[in-house]
Structure 1
């Protein structure tokens, strides 16, 4: 629930003053100007698994999959893996399935991910959502 501006100003004056400093610049940015109030967090369901989308391959695994046990709403520094409806139903029936999916993602060969990723200077790999969607994962669901 979003706290109304007048309540926020009264309950947390220091936070309110800080938010006021963002009005001339931050509030006019694309994302913020489409939110009401402009400083509110986006509203969406938490992704059960998130993926880093930038990496230097020399540091071991190029991308990491993280099980979102905290049910946090991830910032846009992660790719968010939301299950499609059929998988969502299976996850409700079998809560341990998410752990198996997460384990399968983390056993993907590095080459399967880097093959789909873009490569920038200095060996920086970047994986966009559609590129991650092109990676094939085999998981047996019983």
Structure 2
């Protein structure tokens, strides 16, 4: 997939609970092994204490990493997460949009390593740091990274 529009359309079709209409999650950037997604959390995304839940941050990081993969691996639709490590550093209060910024730091033929920072949209403070490994299917081939 070449453009952020194509990637956003694909994600909305294939993952409607996350990227479907009125779900609050959007792809803002998806280019050259990098992606940024934004989530406007609802009450379903909150935990006691009126803060965004850890599983919500993890979901957003994983979905954003997948968007980054789609930006450089033509056939990556079958790519799967093989490892995800997350360190939570601070909370994100209810009412704040959540932003995940991911970058592929090692695009390989079979595995891709991706880092991600999750934060509230109104701050530069990192709420969670995530490192993920994705298994890339042989059909993905031809990585488009210079």
Same fold (TM over 0.5): no
TM-score of the superposed pair, with normalisation by structure 1: 0.30
State the structure with more CA Rg.
1
Specify which structure has the higher proportion of helix.
1
Specify which structure has the higher proportion of strand.
2
TM-score of the superposed pair, with normalisation by structure 2: 0.29
